[in-house]
């Protein structure tokens, strides 16, 4: 049997504002996202990329149409269902949102502790392992203030990935990074798809990393106007 899609949006519409100010931002979006793949949402500013991402990622309520995320319908889901779902998700944003008073390791541990599971020794080992995979083995005890922009973003990525989420939602994760750091981050996401079947949906304007995407969906004025599958590019896999 074919593996179920982790995300299925059907007849998805979204409106902002009320009364005369009510404006439709998303129009009849129908998307089925494949497991273990890196899917990119592109399009001009204001085309609805972030709105679609946040609707799929339980960060915005679905009112009109359907999103099934990991088998749960989001339109009308209960708070308990959202809590259970969010435990299986990872988020990466353009602004890294690290705690400035915590070290790199402590920031990554936050990604595990919000899930409230695991023994402390194993959690510490997992945090160190994830930071090492992202090339930060010699920065474990640094405060964010002493890290470069690229290093901070990699700490944020480690924090999102350390809990081994099933789906990762990333909004412009490479926007503030130089080419090499941006590529490292996206290669890591792609490697996770191959190694752990993690599904990533990523909004980006960054043409430098598009070749790594398995699929590129283009939005314009709230509608899907282009949807292209790409054959896998060669990737230097990071050791798990």
Ligand X SMILES: Nc1ncnc2c1ncn2[C@@H]1O[C@H](COP(=O)(O)OP(=O)(O)OP(=O)(O)O)[C@@H](O)[C@H]1O
* Six token digits for residue 98: 């690290």
For residue 91, which of 140, 67, 127, 56 has the smallest C-alpha distance? 56
Near ligand X by CB under 6 A, which window of 39-47, 119-127, 142-150, 190-198? Answer: 39-47
Near ligand X by CB under 6 A, which window of 42-50, 107-115, 117-125, 227-235? Answer: 42-50
What are the residues whose beta carbons fall under 8 Å from the beta carbon of 229, sequence distance 6 or more? 214, 215
CB of 50 to ligand X, least distance (A): 3
Grouping H, G, I as helix, E, B as strand and the rest as coil, residue 144 is helix
223-229 and 64-69 strand pairing: unpaired
Nearer to ligand X, 93 or 142 (CB): 93
Nearer to ligand X, 47 or 153 (CB): 47
| Binders in 19-38 for ligand X, by CB under 6 A | 25
CB of 215 to ligand X, least distance (A): 17
Residue 59: DSSP 8-state: S
Centre a 10 Å sphere on the Cβ of residue 73 and count the other Cβ atoms it contains: 13
Residue 147: DSSP 8-state: S
Nearer to ligand X, 47 or 199 (CB): 47
For residue 128, which of 162, 89, 88 has the smallest C-alpha distance? 162
CB of 53 to ligand X, least distance (A): 8
Phi, psi values for residue 92, rounded to 5°: -135, 125
Nearer to ligand X, 46 or 149 (CB): 46
Q: Which of 6, 36, 43, 65 binds ligand X (CB under 6 A)?
A: 43
Grouping H, G, I as helix, E, B as strand and the rest as coil, residue 106 is helix
d(CA 15, CA 205): 24
Check residue 204 for interaction with ligand X (CB under 6 A): no
CB of 34 to ligand X, least distance (A): 22
Check residue 16 for interaction with ligand X (CB under 6 A): yes
Q: How many residues bind ligand X (CB under 6 A)?
A: 11
Contact track, ligand X, 44-83, x by CB under 6 A: -xxxxxxx--------------------------------
Residues near ligand X (CB under 6 A) are 16-17, 25, 43, 45-51
């Amino acid at each position: 049997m074919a593996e179920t899609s982790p995300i299925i949006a059907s007849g998805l519409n979204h409106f902002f504002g009320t009364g005369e100010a009510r404006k439709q931002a998303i129009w009849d979006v129908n998307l089925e996202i494949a497991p273990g793949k890196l899917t990119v949402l592109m399009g001009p500013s204001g085309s609805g990329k972030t709105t679609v991402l946040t609707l799929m990622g339980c960060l915005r309520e679905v009112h009109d149409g359907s999103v099934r995320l990991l088998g749960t319908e989001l339109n009308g889901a209960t708070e308990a269902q959202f809590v259970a779902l969010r435990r299986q998700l990872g988020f990466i944003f353009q602004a890294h949102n690290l705690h400035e008073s915590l070290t790199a390791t402590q920031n990554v541990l936050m990604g595990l502790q919000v899930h409230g599971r695991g023994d402390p020794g194993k959690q510490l080992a997992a945090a160190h392992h994830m930071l090492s995979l992202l090339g930060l083995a010699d920065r474990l005890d640094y405060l964010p203030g002493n890290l470069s922009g690229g290093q901070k973003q990699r700490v944020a990525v480690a924090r999102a990935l350390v809990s081994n989420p099933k789906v990762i939602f990333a909004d412009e994760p490479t926007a503030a990074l130089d080419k090499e750091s941006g590529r490292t981050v996206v290669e890591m996401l792609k490697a996770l798809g191959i190694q752990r079947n993690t599904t990533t949906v990523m909004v980006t304007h960054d043409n430098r990393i598009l070749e790594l995407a398995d699929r590129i969906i283009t939005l314009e004025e709230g509608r899907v106007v282009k949807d292209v599958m790409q054959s896998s590019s060669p990737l230097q896999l990071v050791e798990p």
